[in-house]
Chains A and B, each alone.
Chain A
Amino acid sequence: MHRFLKYSAALWLLTTLPVYAAGSKVIATGGATSIEGGAGGGIVPWAVINGYGSSGQWSVTGAVSQVGVDDFTLNSRSISLSYDNKYELSVGRQQLQLDSMGGELNQQIIGLKYKIAGELLYSAMPQISIGLQHKKQLDFAIPAAVGARDDQGTDLYLAASKVWLDAIWGRNVLLNATVRATKGLQTGLLGFGTSSDNGYQYVGEFSAVVLLNPQWAIGAEFKQKPDELAFAREDHWRDLFVAWFANKHLSVVAGHVDLGSIATFRNQTGYYLALESTWAF
């Protein structure tokens, strides 16, 4: 919790700087920042581009999050740069604390996203983006010991996001569907590929969000995961969350996560907490 609070405090202070313009995009349409960096929900990358920079505008977004489940704590932090509401570059760092076993695993993630079609709010067609995430596990000893082949891998994904205005009870609804090709074991935290299978696995990831008003949203996510490791079962991930967009610089997400079985530790459930700060110019 200490590390999360430290980075949160730094981001919070930055949001008090009055010198940055807010960007033109409508509040909440930058989404949140996923644990892998880049715009998304909590665990799913969306077709949305991070921040509030619209056409011809830049935005910079910083985010920190913490997932705390029974036997693990995952701290993530990232910074992303977006331009023209089309291009997104993100650099992220994840630290998985092995609370019961002792030790930690660190992973760095470089993400690229490009919007290829559609407008989240305005077009009948969903907004569609392609993206990649190059991940490198910096502490490969444990992943290698449990059967991972590589310490790095590149995920590719195609995401579609759309907001339906006045969809249910007069509320706006965002749906997102993402297809990902990955070799990641527990999203790369346990390495990439195995001795028996070095092929890409294809998984689907989904988010549904109801925007209660311009500032508050509730949502649910499902992240399908491959199950490639011999020594332990890997489960799909789920979460439920509440998001608060204080203004076009600051948002907070709090949620409940169910990560299933991780490295033989079963029923890993707990909290998710994220803070994002963003500026456009």
Chain B
Amino acid sequence: MGILIRTLLLLALSACSNSPEPKDWLYQQLGGAPGLEQLADGLLREIEQDQQIVHHFKDTDIARFRKLLIEQFCELSGGPCTYTGATMQESHTGFQITEADFDNLVEHLIKVMTEQQVPVAAQNRLLAKLAPMYRDVVYR
């Protein structure tokens, strides 16, 4: 078991050193600007059909939300953008977003990324960047 783990770690390290990753690797994996627009549109479609969470968006300016979502994903993925919206904590306080709401959104995101054939490694990279937002979003 110990040998197995050491071998895996060694392989992972050598894989990293052999292919230095560009800063915008994730942005490219997500399909660049058009990919992120599709991602945002797909996510909006899923939200619209989700009775559990759609009520949180009843007073939302959807066009602005879409623009900020794309900006945020773009900045997070190393793309050439700057997120101009409020902090996650500011924008979610008072909405009483539950763990189940958050889970649903994560599932929608995975579904949309899978439909758009985003590779699993890139999906996981984006999820890793979004997961820490949980504490700023849920039960605020």
Contacts and interface: CB of A to CB of B under 8 A. Distances in A.
Nearest to B53: A24
B124 A123 contact: no
17 contacts: A24-B52, A24-B99, A24-B100, A26-B103, A26-B106, A26-B110, A119-B134, A121-B106, A123-B134, A123-B135, A165-B124, A165-B131, A170-B124, A170-B125, A212-B120, A214-B110, A214-B114
Q: Which of A25, A168, A170, A212 counts the most B-chain CB atoms under 10 A from its CB?
A: A170
Q: Which of A55, A56, A166, A168 counts the most B-chain CB atoms under 10 A from its CB?
A: A166
Nearest to A52: B103
A186 interface: no
A124 interface: yes
Interface in A86-126: 119, 121-124
A105 B121 CA distance: 46
A166 B107 contact: no
B8 to A, nearest CB: 7
A182 B114 CA distance: 44
A200 interface: no
B93 interface: no
B1 interface: yes
Interface in A184-215: 208, 212-214
Contacts of A24: 52, 99-101, 103-104, 107
Contacts of B52: 24
Interface of A: 24-27, 54-57, 85, 119, 121-124, 165-166, 168-172, 208, 212-214, 220, 222
Contacts of B110: 26, 214
Contact of B122 (A26, A56, A170, A213): A170
B40 to A, nearest CB: 20
B3 interface: no
B1 to A, nearest CB: 7
A24 B50 CA distance: 11
A56 B98 contact: yes
B86 interface: no
B128 interface: yes
Interface in B16-30: none
B34 interface: no
Given A122-B135, A124-B132, A214-B114, A220 B125 contact: no
Given A54-B100, A165-B127, 10 more contacts: A54-B103, A56-B98, A56-B100, A122-B132, A168-B12, A171-B124, A172-B124, A212-B120, A214-B120, A220-B1
Interface string B31-45: 000000000000000
